[in-house]
């Protein structure tokens, strides 16, 4: 019985392997019911800014924790008239960004891809908000590893939900208090708890502190997807986003100042307003360069254009 | 005089419960386990009034429902039935009809609790100052300087060295932990304080200091308190009125002097004579 069925399986396999029989994916990879559910969750998330909407995160061809939450949102809202940009830590060329871009190119034929932020209608990102300010109509999709900021102070999800519902965030502030006592400085470098529209506190995904003020009253729509934790939340356009802090201690972002208190420029494009990455060159010198590669390239081109104009 | 807290017919059971529970348990049956359904009747139709600035003692052996009583009033537990009205500046609040957010607000702004075990009342992962800060942050004081000053003042009032405010409570002795707990409970100037066996397990000299502190706070701040204890010495020293509980029932209530000198109920007589 078993023996006789084996050749059949083999025959079926070889049949589907041939190019003319390869099943084509539905546009956007996900089936339409999955997309519909995610869109419904997104509507709820936008309607209740900062609230974590549970959804049934689908299996994706990449492992959970590698951006499946963001990817599912992007695939659900993507249409053929969209222009998509995918970045990872500000760069268009890192592994996560390239793979997700290739996957979307394969499963969403007709969607245009770009590396230039102002041209994009949808930007999927990991760990950064682009330097170019979002415009009205642009959507930023963020990949989130840990959606709940309360997880550091409360282990039970049932209790966390109640705390969110009642706006009970005193224990997060106690964490800030302890930081001030021990280090005279709040030590949260990324995933800084941020209060949305005066009620829910969100984990804005591992963006640096530098990017947190960009959420406040931004004209763009920010969608957050946590694939492993099965949660979606949103910061709609023109919504208040206040990082938690004490009344008498203002929120501080990374300043990139050198020892003399002077702001370091990007060694490539010379920008003094962007978020910088620190790395060592072959000679062991410490270099600072824009983390947003598209922004850095644009600034460099402008600089060269200006130089060219000055020389001619 | 307007009472600050009116408790009426408050009951708490652990288990399914049956119609015969209340008629077959209590002091005269010498049990709090219902013989029909096996339900534990922890507290049976307890009623009393508490007046502003007064210290009410609750006395009784272990398992008599003393702690259940204060835990219900502090919203640690939800009682099965009954009513409790808290007069918040002449505004009556029906405690068990409030929604959880309102209950939490009252608990943070108007009540204070000191548990027998400091581990129940303090967060041992944050500093002593942080524990007081938590109470202040819960009542929406978000100014770091103000919080530091207030924590320092409270700790010096409860005789914890302010220099040690940034240490973890686990570095402290039992008596000091208890004093940090009292400082934490007092952080928001609550008009009502619950003290659950605060001196049990501390050595005598430390007990005396804590009791002195409680009396001092009561005299200075006119805080109303409910003191739960099985120690007659504590009852005699602190309280003006006493409520004696046995198997979930109140068997006697009266002025402390009267209860201790002229006990009416057989159980109270036994309790008083065995201690003296």
d(CA A256, CA A262): 8
Q: Which two tokens stand for residue A159?
A: 């209790």
The one-character DSSP state at B20 is: T
CB–CB of A50/A231 below 8 Å?
A: no
B123 and A174 within 8 Å at the Cβ level: the answer is yes
B5 closest CA partner among B39, B41, B53, B65: B53
Residue ranges with strand state E in chain A: 53-54, 83-88, 112-113, 122-126, 139-143, 194-196, 201-202, 221-226, 231-235, 241-243, 276-280, 286-290
A-chain residue closest to B139, CA distance: A170
| Chain B contact for A177 (CB, 8 A cutoff) | yes
Q: Give the torsion sign (CA, B129, B131, B135, B137).
A: positive
- Identify all chain A residues contacting B146, using CB atoms and an 8 Å cutoff: 248
Beta-bridge mates of residue B94 = B85
Catalytic site includes residue A225? no
Full pLDDT tens readout for chain B, 276 residues: 889 999 999 999 998 888 888 888 888 888 888 888 888 999 999 999 999 989 999 998 888 888 899 999 999 999 999 999 999 888 899 999 998 889 989 998 999 999 988 999 999 999 999 999 999 999 889 999 999 999 999 998 888 898 999 999 999 998 889 889 999 998 888 999 999 988 887 788 888 888 888 888 888 888 999 999 888 888 999 999 999 999 989 999 999 999 999 999 988 998 888 865
Which pLDDT belongs to residue A196?
Answer: 96
d(CA A14, CA A12): 6
A-chain residue closest to B165, CA distance: A181
Helices (H), chain B: 66-73, 100-109, 118-121, 128-138, 144-157, 174-186, 204-221, 232-238, 256-261, 266-275
Which pLDDT belongs to residue A312?
Answer: 67
CA distances from A214 to A218, A229, B140 (A): 6, 25, 26
CB–CB of A25/A107 below 8 Å?
A: yes
d(CA A182, CA B127): 10
Full pLDDT tens readout for chain A, 312 residues: 444 444 444 444 444 455 555 567 889 999 999 999 999 999 999 999 999 999 999 999 988 888 999 999 999 999 999 999 999 999 999 999 999 999 999 999 999 999 999 999 999 999 999 999 999 999 999 999 999 999 999 999 999 999 999 888 999 999 999 999 999 989 899 999 999 999 999 999 999 999 999 999 999 999 999 999 999 999 999 999 999 999 999 999 998 998 898 999 999 999 999 999 998 989 999 999 999 999 999 999 998 888 887 776
| Chain B contact for A168 (CB, 8 A cutoff) | yes
Min CA distance, B131 vs chain A (Å)? 8
B144 and A247 within 8 Å at the Cβ level: the answer is yes
Catalytic site includes residue A108? no
Which pLDDT belongs to residue A16?
Answer: 47
Catalytic site includes residue A50? yes
B130 and A178 within 8 Å at the Cβ level: the answer is yes
d(CA B137, CA B188): 10
B4 closest CA partner among B48, B50, B53: B50
Residues within 8 A of A (CB atoms), B 63-122 only: 100-101, 104
Catalytic site includes residue A245? no
ipTM of the complex: 0.83
CB–CB of A176/A170 below 8 Å?
A: no
A174 and B137 within 8 Å at the Cβ level: the answer is yes
| Chain A contact for B142 (CB, 8 A cutoff) | yes
Which one of B108, B122, B142 makes the best mutation probe of the A interface by having the most chain A beta carbons within 10 Å? B142
Q: Which of A28, A69, A108, A266 is catalytic?
A: A266
d(CA B191, CA B187): 11
Catalytic site includes residue A198? no
CB–CB of B192/B157 below 8 Å?
A: no
A-chain residue closest to B140, CA distance: A170
| Chain B contact for A170 (CB, 8 A cutoff) | yes
CA distances from B102 to A140, A279, B18, B94, B135 (A): 37, 52, 31, 11, 16
| Chain A contact for B163 (CB, 8 A cutoff) | no
d(CA B125, CA B142): 21
Give the nearest partner residue to B137 out of A166, A167, A173, using CB atoms. Answer: A173
d(CA A233, CA B165): 39
Q: Which two tokens stand for residue B242?
A: 């006493």
CB–CB of A38/A58 below 8 Å?
A: no
The one-character DSSP state at B31 is: B
CA angle A113–A46–B139, rounded 5-degree value = 130
A97 closest CA partner among A118, A128, A121, A137: A128
Directed axis angle between helix B144-157 and helix B128-138, to 10°? 120
Which pLDDT belongs to residue B88?
Answer: 87
- Identify all chain B residues contacting A182, using CB atoms and an 8 Å cutoff: 166
At which residue do the structure tokens 């932990």 appear? Answer: B177
d(CA B179, CA B209): 10
Directed axis angle between helix B144-157 and helix B174-186, to 10°? 130
CA distances from B70 to A308, B67, B88 (A): 80, 5, 18
CB–CB of B134/B147 below 8 Å?
A: no
| Chain B contact for A252 (CB, 8 A cutoff) | no
Q: Which of A50, A70, A90, A227 is catalytic?
A: A50
A170 and B145 within 8 Å at the Cβ level: the answer is no
Residues B222-271: tens digit of each pLDDT: 899 999 988 888 899 999 999 999 998 999 999 999 999 999 998 899 88
């Amino acid at each position: 019985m078993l023996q006789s069925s084996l050749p059949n399986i083999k025959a079926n396999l070889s049949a589907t392997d041939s190019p003319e029989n390869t099943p084509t994916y539905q546009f956007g990879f996900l089936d339409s019911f999955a997309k519909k559910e995610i869109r419904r969750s997104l509507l709820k998330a936008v309607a209740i800014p900062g609230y974590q909407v549970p959804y049934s995160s689908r299996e994706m061809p990449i492992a959970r924790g590698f951006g499946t939450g963001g990817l599912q949102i992007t695939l659900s809202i993507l249409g053929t008239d969209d222009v998509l940009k995918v970045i990872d830590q500000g760069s268009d060329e890192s592994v996560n960004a390239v793979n997700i871009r290739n996957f979307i190119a394969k499963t969403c034929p007709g969607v245009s891809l770009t590396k230039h932020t102002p041209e994009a209608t949808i930007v999927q990102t990991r760990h950064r908000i682009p330097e170019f300010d979002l415009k009205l109509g642009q959507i930023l999709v963020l990949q989130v590893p840990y959606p709940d900021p309360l997880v550091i102070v409360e282990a039970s999800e049932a209790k966390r939900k109640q705390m969110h519902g009642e706006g009970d965030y005193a224990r997060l502030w106690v964490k800030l208090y302890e930081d001030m006592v021990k280090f005279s400085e709040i030590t949260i470098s990324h995933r800084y708890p941020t209060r949305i529209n005066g009620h829910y506190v969100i984990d804005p995904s591992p963006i640096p502190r530098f990017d947190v003020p960009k959420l406040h009253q931004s004209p763009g729509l920010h969608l957050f997807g946590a694939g492993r934790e099965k949660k979606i939340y949103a910061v709609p356009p023109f919504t208040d986003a206040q990082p938690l802090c004490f009344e008498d201690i203002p929120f501080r972002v990374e300043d990139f100042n050198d020892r003399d208190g002077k702001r370091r420029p990007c060694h490539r494009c010379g920008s003094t307003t962007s978020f910088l990455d620190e790395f060592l060159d072959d000679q062991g010198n410490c270099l600072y360069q824009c983390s947003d590669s598209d922004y850095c390239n644009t600034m460099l081109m402008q600089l060269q254009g200006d130089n060219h104009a000055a020389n001619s | 005089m307007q009472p600050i807290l009116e408790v009426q017919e408050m009951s708490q059971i652990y288990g399914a419960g049956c119609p015969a529970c209340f008629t077959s348990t209590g002091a005269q049956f010498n049990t709090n386990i219902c013989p029909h359904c096996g339900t534990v009747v922890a507290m049976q139709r307890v009623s009393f009034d508490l007046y502003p600035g007064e210290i009410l003692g609750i006395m009784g052996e272990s398992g008599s429902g003393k702690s259940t009583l204060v835990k219900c009033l502090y919203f640690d537990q939800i009682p099965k039935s009954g009513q409790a009205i808290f007069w918040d500046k002449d505004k009556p609040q029906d405690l068990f009809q409030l929604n959880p957010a309102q209950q939490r607000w009252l608990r943070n702004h108007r009540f204070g609790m000191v548990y027998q075990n400091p581990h129940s009342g303090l967060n041992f992962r944050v500093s002593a100052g942080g524990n007081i800060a938590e109470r202040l942050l819960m009542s929406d004081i978000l100014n770091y300087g103000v919080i530091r000053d207030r924590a320092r003042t409270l700790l010096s009032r409860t005789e914890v060295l302010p220099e040690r405010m940034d240490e973890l409570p686990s570095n402290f002795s039992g008596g000091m932990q208890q004093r940090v707990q009292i400082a934490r409970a007092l952080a928001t100037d609550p008009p009502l304080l619950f003290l659950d066996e605060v001196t049990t397990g501390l050595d005598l000299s430390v007990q005396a200091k804590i009791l002195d502190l409680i009396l001092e706070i009561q005299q200075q701040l006119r805080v109303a308190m409910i003191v739960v204890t099985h120690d007659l010495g504590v009852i005699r020293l602190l309280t003006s009125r006493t409520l004696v509980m046995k198997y979930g029932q109140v068997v006697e209530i009266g002025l402390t002097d009267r209860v201790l000198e002229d006990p009416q109920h057989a159980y109270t007589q036994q309790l008083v004579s065995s201690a003296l």
